[in-house]
Amino acid sequence: MKPFDYFSPKTLSEASEVLSKYNDDARMIAGGTDLLLKMKAGRLAPKAIINIKRIPDLRGLTFNSHLTLGALTTLEEIKQSPIIRQYYPALSSAAATMASVQIRNLATVGGNMCNAAPSADLAPILIALNATAVINGAKGERRVLLEEFFTAPGKSVLGVGELLISLEVPKQEGKSIYLKHSPREHMDIAVVGVGIACRGFNPLTQVRIILGAVAPIPLRAKKAEEEVMGGSLTKERIERAAKIAAEEARPIDDVRGSVWYRRKIVEVMVKRGLTGLVNGN
């Protein structure tokens, strides 16, 4: 691991100032469950590390008219929160599939988003729930739909000096589900992840189908959504939507799965997810 400058700011403005000074040569750390591994492996060599854990504005998990998740909210907090279990059970389930309890007590929702891995487990369900990213920088605060937050593997809309401070999730008015396929259900990163949220079933008035790990960024299967909108979720329509979602996916061949395999898993999981929501599972 190469030498680096270390900072531990206490305010957002201090963090933004350091980020701006070092431009793309600085990295933020909270849990460090991804960053430190990349640095030890020599895949990253930042000139500065900014520890953001002392910034109070990044903490907090609150629910009023909507859910607010501070960027430092840990995966274990999401899994265990009574509020999330009651109002956003699919989000709690998604967090439960991730890593081990030791890692979940360190890893944060902000890190999971800003790492911008195509296989990030929380991204599909949060996008399905229509979450918004709240971003702070030298020019002030701005909001971006999480659906538009990711731009490429490892890349996001965050500009120089900007950091993600929280996620806002509207109150759920319907049902949602997260399904994950991986070699080990609760430890490995997703080979395919599917987040679905819908409202109304006869007719279906709203649906969002988000695919993870099968494209450079989390992918919204809009054609599959169109197939099931405006009518009853019959077995035939669900099967057609699942096939369409598989066609919309843009996976790659790698050591965890082939293109053909991932497309087939997308079809199976979208069908399973929509069927489960119809049946109240």
pLDDT score at 184: 72
Both tokens of 33, joined, read: 């469950």
Please indicate, yes or no, whether the overall pTM of this predicted structure exceeds 0.85. yes
Mean pLDDT of 8-31: 93
Residue 120, pLDDT above cutoff 80: yes
Tally Cβ neighbours within 10 Å of residue 139. 10
Mean pLDDT of 109-118: 96
- 3-class SS string, 191-247: CEEEEEEEECCCCCCEEEEEEECCCCCCEECHHHHHHHCCCCCCHHHHHHHHHHHHH
**What would the pLDDT profile of 170-207 be if each residue is shown by its tens digit?**
999 899 999 999 987 656 889 999 999 999 888 899 99
User: Out of 20-24, 57-61, 208-212, 270-274, which region has the weakest mean confidence (pLDDT)?
Assistant: 20-24
pLDDT score at 186: 59
pLDDT score at 231: 84
Grade residue 281 by pLDDT with cuts at 50, 70 and 90: low
CA atoms of 14 and 57, how far apart (whole Å) = 12
**What would the pLDDT profile of 58-80 be if each residue is shown by its tens digit?**
999 999 989 999 999 999 999 99
pLDDT score at 232: 85
* DSSP code, position 170: E
CA atoms of 105 and 93, how far apart (whole Å) = 16
pLDDT score at 179: 97
Residue 53, pLDDT above cutoff 70: yes
Residue 19, pLDDT above cutoff 70: yes
Grade residue 139 by pLDDT with cuts at 50, 70 and 90: confident
Residue 278, pLDDT above cutoff 70: yes
Both tokens of 270, joined, read: 């979208």
Rg (CA), the chain: 19
- 3-class SS string, 172-197: CCCEEEEEEECCCCCCCCCCEEEEEE
- Decide: 20 and 28 in contact? Cβ < 8 Å: no
Does residue 88 sit in helix, strand or coil?
Answer: coil
Residue 24, pLDDT above cutoff 90: no
